[in-house]
């Protein structure tokens, strides 16, 4: 009987997540690990930095891992023959040599396991009031464009990052679809533009995300599924949401490999549950009429365990 039960268990799925770590709060690996574990994944974390807290606070202290140290950690895994992964997940990085080392590791892991999926959030910058600006050194762009994106399978840029990677501005949904096609041509099978300043059909209180999944059938024909997701805007600045989004997208695309619509609905719905809980709690802590501070706006991750595990679908995607 035990044998029969064992056979029904899902095979172990292991993620190597190379991201920042904070002692207090939820960004980087702290925002990605818990949701992935809740959803049944084994997560091995390399902390690209170890900071007291995220850099949106008035103060922060800590250490930064360099590319040699990253390589050394990876060598340790390799010597013990425990360097077989199903997924690699990466987010914010400030250093070009570190990023190049990540690419080397991904390529080596793909030789180990040809089915490995690399999920990359190419964090470079964002738009404020319509103006885009980079918050990482400019020399990271060519590394992302020429080295990282070609080995990635799933990428989650925001609109500004998608524009940077393709050198093309997005003013309409049609532009965005063409930019996603350009990104597919660079390598990734799945592209999700996580946020944009496009006009949402539902109105100004909604934020548009767009997704595109390109599949090559056994006979060589290609099909592309494209979706639009409109989610209610939440009036606050959160940190770690992109890291949480990428982790949950990894999980839900794994569970729904050929249905980007469902994967995105579950991801965005879970995000909404987490953000609504966070803003409610932050406002309660700040008190009537006061603006919540960074500490109060830390994502309510543990409190949202049930929503992460089994999100009630409150945001629907439209197939384009």
What sign does the dihedral 269-271-274-277 (CA atoms) show? negative
Asked if residue 37 has pLDDT above 70, the reply is yes
Provide mean pLDDT across the span 78-99.
96
Active site residues: 243
Greater pLDDT, 10 or 89: 89
Helix ranges (H only) for 136-257 are 140-143, 149-151, 159-166, 173-186, 241-255
Average pLDDT, the chain: 95
Q: What is the pLDDT of residues 209-266, one digit of tens each?
A: 999 999 888 888 999 999 999 999 998 889 999 999 999 999 999 999 999 999 999 9
SS3 (DSSP) at 231:
strand
CB distance 266 to 248 below 8 Å: yes
Q: What is the pLDDT of residue 108?
A: 97
Report angle CA 228, 231, 235 to the nearest 5 degrees: 145
DSSP state of 146: I
* Burial class of residue 183 in the structure, from the number of CB atoms within 10 Å of its CB (0-12 exposed, 13-18 middle, 19+ buried): buried
pLDDT of res. 82 = 96
**What's the confidence (pLDDT) of residue 115?**
96
Kindly provide the b/e burial profile for residues 40-79, where b requires at least 16 CB atoms within 10 angstroms of the residue's own CB: ebebbbbbbbebebbeebeeeeeeebebeebeebbeebee
Has this prediction a pTM greater than 0.85? yes
What ranges do the domains of the chain cover? Answer: 13-285+297-319
Fold of 13-285+297-319: 3.40.1190
Confidence of residue 9 (pLDDT cuts 50, 70, 90): low
Six token digits for residue 255: 């569970």
């Amino acid at each position: 009987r035990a044998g029969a039960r064992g056979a029904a268990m899902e095979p172990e799925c292991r993620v190597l997540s190379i991201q920042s770590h904070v002692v207090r709060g939820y960004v980087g690996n702290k925002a990605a690990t818990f949701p992935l574990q809740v959803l049944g994944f084994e997560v091995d974390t390399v902390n690209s930095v170890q900071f007291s807290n995220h850099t949106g606070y008035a103060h922060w202290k800590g250490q930064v891992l360099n590319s040699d140290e990253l390589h050394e950690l990876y060598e340790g895994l390799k010597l013990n023959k425990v360097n077989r992964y199903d997924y690699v997940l990466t987010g914010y990085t400030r250093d070009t040599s570190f990023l190049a080392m990540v690419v080397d590791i991904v390529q080596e892991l793909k030789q180990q396991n040809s089915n490995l999926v690399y999920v990359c959030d190419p964090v470079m910058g964002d738009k404020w009031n319509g103006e885009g600006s980079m918050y990482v050194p400019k020399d990271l762009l060519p590394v992302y464009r020429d080295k990282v994106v070609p080995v990635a399978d799933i990428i989650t840029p925001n609109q500004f990052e998608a524009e940077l990677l393709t050198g093309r501005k997005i003013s309409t949904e049609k532009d965005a679809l063409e930019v996603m096609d350009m990104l597919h041509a660079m390598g990734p099978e799945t592209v999700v533009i996580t946020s944009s300043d496009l006009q949402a059909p539902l109105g100004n209180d909604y934020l548009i995300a767009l997704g595109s999944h390109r599949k090559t059938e056994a006979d060589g024909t290609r099909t592309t599924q494209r979706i639009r997701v409109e989610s209610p805007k939440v009036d606050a600045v959160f940190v770690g949401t992109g890291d949480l989004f990428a982790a949950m997208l990894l999980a839900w695309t794994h569970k729904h490999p050929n249905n980007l619509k469902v994967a995105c609905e579950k991801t965005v719905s879970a995000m909404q549950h987490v953000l609504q809980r966070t803003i409610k709690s932050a406002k309660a802590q700040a008190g009537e009429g006061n603006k919540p501070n960074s500490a109060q706006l830390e994502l309510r991750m543990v409190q949202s365990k049930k929503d992460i595990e089994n999100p009630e679908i409150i945001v629907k995607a439209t197939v384009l």
